[in-house]
């Protein structure tokens, strides 16, 4: 038995999230269709994370156990032949049997994209939030840095959601460590990028929605620190739409120890 680790990327616009759904098309179901076509059986796949409907991934991993001896490079080519154009397998390698695509993850990076031009871009429909009114990206960046550190982010979690175990305590907790959070402007595109050891349900989208308030001057520096400390969901911003959210990095190496081009993320 071999355990294979696949790296892939996908546009989430046509899918009801990564996880298999009973009555809607998902990324996992689509990948399993390709796996069945290539490997001759519907092998189970285990993803590194859940992504919601409409959310994208520039880097995503899943592992699969198989008796097949197909070479890893051939598996990449064959799966891509059988996948739609909005999903691509980027790489494949064998990993030890105790490696787990989800539970071996040490940290993740998400990027939220905001098209901040006066006219919407038809090329970014479903791929970024369209916000035609001026945003102060410099102020947003200054405020975003208040997310960094170890905090209880219960105020940035969708109401009624159940917290997942963290690397900090192994139990249900809303405490997370954010290693970095920053906002930058590239022309008319504003990019909010955050790295952390884990994220609550809709946490990044709520962060993005709150930063929009700072961008239009409704929140000032220091306000995010107070909102985080309060734990009050009502004080944070709206949950930003899913189309702007991208899972951009998944790492199996402790933060700050990874090297450029490292195959373990």
The CATH number covering residue 53 comes to 3.30.70.580
78 and 202 share one domain: no
Please tell me whether residues 80 and 50 are part of one structural domain: yes
User: Is 46 in the same domain as 141?
Assistant: no
Kindly state the average pLDDT of the residues 154-162: 77
CA 41, CA 175: separation in Å to the nearest integer? 41
* Residues 194, 156 contacting (CB under 8 angstroms): no
54 plus 142 within the same structural domain: no
Same domain, 206 and 123: yes
Residues 21-47 have pLDDT tens digits of 888 899 999 999 999 999 999 999 999
Same domain, 150 and 245: yes
In whole angstroms, give the CA distance from residue 185 to residue 219. Answer: 19
Q: For residues 210 and 195, what is the distance between their CA atoms, to the nearest angstrom?
A: 17
Both 158 and 36 in one domain: the answer is no
53 and 166 together in one domain: no
In a domain, 168, yes or no: yes
Q: DSSP labels for 162-177?
A: PPPB-TTTSSB--EEE
- Single pTM value for the model: 0.92
Task: Assess whether 33 carries a catalytic annotation.
Answer: no
Catalytic residue among 33, 52, 86, 223: 52
Which of these, 227, 240, 214, 255, lies nearest to 115 by C-alpha position?
240
Range of the domain at 14: 2-95
pLDDT in tens, 74-123: 999 999 999 999 999 999 999 999 999 999 999 999 999 999 999 999 99
In this predicted structure, what is the pLDDT of residue 260?
62
Helix (H) or strand (E) holding 80: helix 72-81
Q: Considering the domain boundaries, does residue 262 fall inside one?
A: no
Q: How far apart are CA 183 and CA 49, in angstroms?
A: 24
Look at residue 153 and tell me whether its pLDDT is greater than 90: yes
**One domain for residues 145 and 81:** no
């Amino acid at each position: 038995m071999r355990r294979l680790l696949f790296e892939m990327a996908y546009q989430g616009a046509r899918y009801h999230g990564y996880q298999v759904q009973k009555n809607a098309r998902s990324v996992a179901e689509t990948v399993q269709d390709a796996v069945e076509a290539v490997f001759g059986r519907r092998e189970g796949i285990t993803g590194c994370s859940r992504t919601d409907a409409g959310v994208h991934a520039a880097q995503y991993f899943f592992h699969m156990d198989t008796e097949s001896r197909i070479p890893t490079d051939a598996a990449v080519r064959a799966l891509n032949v059988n996948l739609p154009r909005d999903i691509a397998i980027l790489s494949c390698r064998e990993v030890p049997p105790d490696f787990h695509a989800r539970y071996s993850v040490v940290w993740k990076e998400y990027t939220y994209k905001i098209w901040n031009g006066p006219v919407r871009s038809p090329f970014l429909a479903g791929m970024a939030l369209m916000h035609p009114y001026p945003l102060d990206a410099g102020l947003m960046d200054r405020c975003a840095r208040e997310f960094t550190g170890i905090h209880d982010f219960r105020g940035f979690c969708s109401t009624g959601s159940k917290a997942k175990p963290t690397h900090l305590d192994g139990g249900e907790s809303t405490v997370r460590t954010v290693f970095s959070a920053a906002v930058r402007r590239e022309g008319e595109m504003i990019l909010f990028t955050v790295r952390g050891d884990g994220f609550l349900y809709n946490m990044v989208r709520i962060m993005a929605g709150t930063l929009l308030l700072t961008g239009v001057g409704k929140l000032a520096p220091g306000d995010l620190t107070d909102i985080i400390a309060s734990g009050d969901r009502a004080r944070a911003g709206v949950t930003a739409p899913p189309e702007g959210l991208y899972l951009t990095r998944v790492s199996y190496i402790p933060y700050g120890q990874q090297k450029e081009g490292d195959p373990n993320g």
